[in-house]
Amino acid sequence: MGWTSESRYPRGVFGECLASEDAAEDDLRLAPDDRVTCPLHHRWIYRCVASPAHINAVTRHRWCRSCAVPLPVVIDEIAGTVTIVCTRCGDGGSPATTRLIAACRASLATSKQRARQPA
Ligand SMILES: [Zn+2]
Ligand SMILES: [Zn+2]
Protein backbone atom coordinates (compact mmCIF):
# COMPACT_ATOMS: atom_id res chain seq x y z
CA MET A 1 0.00 0.00 0.00
CA GLY A 2 3.02 2.33 -0.11
CA TRP A 3 3.20 3.06 3.61
CA THR A 4 6.37 4.70 4.84
CA SER A 5 7.89 4.52 8.29
CA GLU A 6 8.11 8.30 8.59
CA SER A 7 4.48 9.03 7.68
CA ARG A 8 1.11 7.46 8.33
CA TYR A 9 -0.08 8.78 4.99
CA PRO A 10 0.27 7.05 1.65
CA ARG A 11 2.49 8.77 -0.93
CA GLY A 12 1.12 10.76 -3.85
CA VAL A 13 -1.74 13.14 -4.43
CA PHE A 14 -4.22 11.13 -2.42
CA GLY A 15 -1.90 11.05 0.59
CA GLU A 16 -1.37 14.81 0.38
CA CYS A 17 -5.09 15.42 0.19
CA LEU A 18 -5.74 13.08 3.14
CA ALA A 19 -3.03 14.76 5.23
CA SER A 20 -4.29 18.28 4.50
CA GLU A 21 -7.89 17.29 5.28
CA ASP A 22 -6.81 15.68 8.58
CA ALA A 23 -4.97 18.90 9.51
CA ALA A 24 -7.88 21.12 8.45
CA GLU A 25 -10.31 19.02 10.46
CA ASP A 26 -8.08 19.20 13.56
CA ASP A 27 -7.97 22.99 13.17
CA LEU A 28 -11.78 23.11 12.85
CA ARG A 29 -11.39 24.53 9.36
CA LEU A 30 -13.15 21.55 7.80
CA ALA A 31 -16.24 19.65 8.94
CA PRO A 32 -15.86 15.85 8.93
CA ASP A 33 -18.93 15.65 6.68
CA ASP A 34 -17.29 17.78 4.00
CA ARG A 35 -14.16 15.65 3.63
CA VAL A 36 -13.45 14.05 0.25
CA THR A 37 -10.99 11.60 1.81
CA CYS A 38 -11.94 9.05 4.48
CA PRO A 39 -9.83 9.22 7.65
CA LEU A 40 -10.88 5.69 8.62
CA HIS A 41 -10.40 3.74 5.41
CA HIS A 42 -7.75 6.00 3.84
CA ARG A 43 -9.57 6.09 0.52
CA TRP A 44 -11.56 8.63 -1.47
CA ILE A 45 -14.86 8.86 0.35
CA TYR A 46 -16.86 7.65 -2.65
CA ARG A 47 -14.80 4.44 -2.69
CA CYS A 48 -15.61 3.42 0.88
CA VAL A 49 -18.96 5.08 1.55
CA ALA A 50 -20.65 1.72 0.93
CA SER A 51 -18.87 0.34 4.02
CA PRO A 52 -21.09 -0.24 7.09
CA ALA A 53 -18.75 2.13 8.99
CA HIS A 54 -20.40 5.01 7.13
CA ILE A 55 -23.88 4.18 8.44
CA ASN A 56 -25.02 6.15 11.46
CA ALA A 57 -28.57 5.71 12.75
CA VAL A 58 -28.27 8.67 15.11
CA THR A 59 -27.01 11.29 12.69
CA ARG A 60 -28.83 9.53 9.81
CA HIS A 61 -25.82 9.15 7.57
CA ARG A 62 -27.03 6.46 5.15
CA TRP A 63 -29.98 5.67 7.40
CA CYS A 64 -33.73 5.76 6.70
CA ARG A 65 -35.43 6.72 9.94
CA SER A 66 -38.96 5.83 8.82
CA CYS A 67 -37.98 2.31 7.76
CA ALA A 68 -35.10 1.92 10.28
CA VAL A 69 -32.84 0.43 7.60
CA PRO A 70 -29.42 1.36 6.19
CA LEU A 71 -29.44 2.95 2.75
CA PRO A 72 -27.57 1.32 -0.13
CA VAL A 73 -25.10 3.40 -2.16
CA VAL A 74 -25.01 3.43 -5.96
CA ILE A 75 -22.00 5.13 -7.52
CA ASP A 76 -21.60 5.69 -11.25
CA GLU A 77 -17.96 6.67 -11.69
CA ILE A 78 -18.36 7.38 -15.42
CA ALA A 79 -21.37 9.67 -15.06
CA GLY A 80 -20.09 11.03 -11.75
CA THR A 81 -23.38 10.40 -9.97
CA VAL A 82 -23.98 9.20 -6.44
CA THR A 83 -27.35 7.86 -5.35
CA ILE A 84 -28.33 6.97 -1.79
CA VAL A 85 -32.02 6.07 -1.64
CA CYS A 86 -34.04 3.73 0.59
CA THR A 87 -35.11 0.63 -1.32
CA ARG A 88 -38.20 0.23 0.88
CA CYS A 89 -39.80 3.68 0.72
CA GLY A 90 -37.87 5.16 -2.21
CA ASP A 91 -36.85 8.14 -0.09
CA GLY A 92 -35.01 7.95 3.23
CA GLY A 93 -33.31 11.30 2.73
CA SER A 94 -31.82 13.31 5.61
CA PRO A 95 -29.61 16.39 5.88
CA ALA A 96 -26.68 14.12 6.80
CA THR A 97 -27.20 11.88 3.78
CA THR A 98 -27.57 14.88 1.46
CA ARG A 99 -24.24 16.17 2.74
CA LEU A 100 -22.67 12.74 2.35
CA ILE A 101 -23.82 12.60 -1.29
CA ALA A 102 -22.30 16.04 -1.90
CA ALA A 103 -19.00 14.90 -0.36
CA CYS A 104 -19.00 11.76 -2.53
CA ARG A 105 -19.59 13.80 -5.69
CA ALA A 106 -16.83 16.21 -4.73
CA SER A 107 -14.55 13.26 -4.00
CA LEU A 108 -15.27 11.71 -7.42
CA ALA A 109 -14.58 15.03 -9.14
CA THR A 110 -11.38 15.64 -7.15
CA SER A 111 -9.97 12.17 -7.78
CA LYS A 112 -10.60 12.53 -11.53
CA GLN A 113 -9.07 16.00 -11.60
CA ARG A 114 -5.99 14.79 -9.75
CA ALA A 115 -5.62 11.75 -11.99
CA ARG A 116 -5.31 14.00 -15.03
CA GLN A 117 -2.45 15.95 -13.51
CA PRO A 118 1.07 14.53 -13.42
CA ALA A 119 1.92 13.45 -9.89
ZN1 LIG B 1 -14.50 5.26 4.77
ZN1 LIG C 1 -37.21 4.06 3.91
Yes or no: say if 111 and 43 are a contact pair by the CB < 8 Å rule. Answer: no
What pLDDT, in 10s, does the model give residues 2-43?
A: 555 567 898 888 999 999 999 999 999 999 999 999 999 999
Alpha-carbon distance 72 to 51, whole Å?
10
Residue 5 lies in a domain: no
In a domain, 2, yes or no: no
Residue 78 half-sphere exposure toward CB, CA atoms < 13 A: 0
Q: Is residue 6 part of a domain?
A: no
Q: Is residue 50 part of a domain?
A: yes
Q: How far is the CA of 98 from the centre of ligand 2 (A)?
A: 15
4 belongs to a structural domain: no
- Minimal CA–CA distance to 96: which of 68, 67, 55, 52? 55
Q: How many domains does the chain have?
A: 1
State pTM to two decimals: 0.88
* pLDDT value of residue 97: 98
Q: Which domain covers residue 38, as residue numbers?
A: 12-116
Residue 1 lies in a domain: no
Ligand 1 centroid from CA 45, angstroms? 6
Please give the Cα distance from 55 to 74 (Å, whole number).
Answer: 14
Nearest ligand to the C-alpha atom of residue 54: 1
pLDDT tens, position by position, 62-117: 999 999 999 999 999 999 999 999 999 999 999 999 999 999 999 999 998 866 65
